[in-house]
Amino acid sequence: MRTVEWTDQNRVRMVDQRRIPWTLAHVEYDDYRDVALAISDMVVRGAPAIGVSAAFGMALAGIQCTALDVGSLLEYLEVAAVILKKARPTAVNLAWAVDHMMDVARDERLDRAGDVREALLAEAERMADADVAINKQMAAYGAALIHDGDTILHHCNTGMLATVDYGTALGVIRMAHEQGKKIHVLLDETRPRLQGSRLSAWECEQLGIPYDIIPDTAAGYYMRRGEVTRVLFGADRVAANGDVVNKIGSYQIAVLAKENQIPCYSVFPTSTVDLAIPTGDKIPIEERDPAEVRAPYGCAIVPDHYHARNPAFDVTPHVYFSGLVTEVGVLPPPFADSLAAAVRHAQPPVEA
């Protein structure tokens, strides 16, 4: 199952993640502005899935534009790029994908508007296929870190729903399970949007992976009891020094893991690395509507006038990681060196 894909009717088709686990439903869009809204409203979420969704949004913008000349088409695409990039500010895959699509559109070898449109769609579909291949490569490297009998604490959702298919951190767990390793997963709820209890549990149900949902506040309890042997989560942006910005709550889990001498790994594609950002403190953190805290999914737990704050992400300093898992391997510290080398290695060779 693909989280996001292109249809024969020139639409972007997505799994509506707001309705899982109760209903597996899809939505389709024929306007790039609706794709941007879907990203903002978390119809689609997860850094890799957001990136590919934005790429398809750019392809959609190309088709929407009626311009007959390349110059006018590029002007239209530049507006679409701004709107899509504003949908969510933290996940670097979004801006990375949009900028990459603009580079494709500006290729001087494309001298007709129709050629630009075809190139955009072809590249978006290539990026979707590449995401699946990259995830499986990451999973192979990460699964080697999982031992038979491990209990893994996992945060948020990083599986097939967070990517085009297969997953990052949950993809590692999936591959270890498919390899026949006897593992168990503790899924923290990941409040306030409950990506762990809603989405990751749903995926484990589909895949037959043994799991328990636990309160976010219970992570330390299970670590101190010796019931956790590995901690895994994903990343929405990684700074040049190895600091990881991920779903809110990641930092406290990593600190607890280090205190209890439990290996902690972040799993992400090299497209999530932002070498232009020296440390995680320089990465903008998205603040979402406080209503998500006061009334998650419409279930009011406090009055509307109560004050609340809702940061969507936090920063985990690089010192808390045992390694960083990418499609080019498990990166060891010092991460500033290994990340830069991994990004270079992952880049395709420049054509002569």
Rounded to the nearest 5 percent, the helix, strand and coil shares of the chain are: 45, 15, 40
DSSP string, 16-58: -TTSTTT---EEEESSHHHHHHHHHTTSS-SHHHHHHHHHHHH
Q: Which amino acid is at 63?
A: I
Residue 187 near residue 292 (C-beta atoms within 8 A): no
Alpha-carbon separation of residue 260 from 187, 215, 222, 253, 264 (angstroms): 18, 19, 10, 11, 11
Task: Give every CB contact of residue 110 below 8 A, 6+ residues apart in sequence.
Answer: 70, 116, 119
**Known active-site residue 236:** yes
The DSSP H or E segment spanning 212 is strand 211-214
Angle 47-64/113-143 helices, nearest 10 degrees?
Answer: 170
First-residue to last-residue Cα distance in the chain: 37
Question: Which residues is 13 bridged to in the sheet?
Answer: 5, 28
Cα separation, 182 vs 184, whole angstroms: 7
Look at residues 27, 24, 92 and name the one whose alpha carbon lies nearest to residue 54.
92
Non-local (6+) Cβ contacts of 329 within 8 A are 141, 342
For residues 315 and 281, the answer to whether their CB atoms sit within 8 Å is yes
How far apart CA 266 and CA 238 sit, in angstroms, is 10
DSSP 108: T
Catalytic site residue from 131, 236, 243, 274 = 236
Phi–psi pair at 25, nearest 5 degrees: -125, 155
Locus of tokens 């490569």: 137
By annotation, the residues acting in catalysis are 236
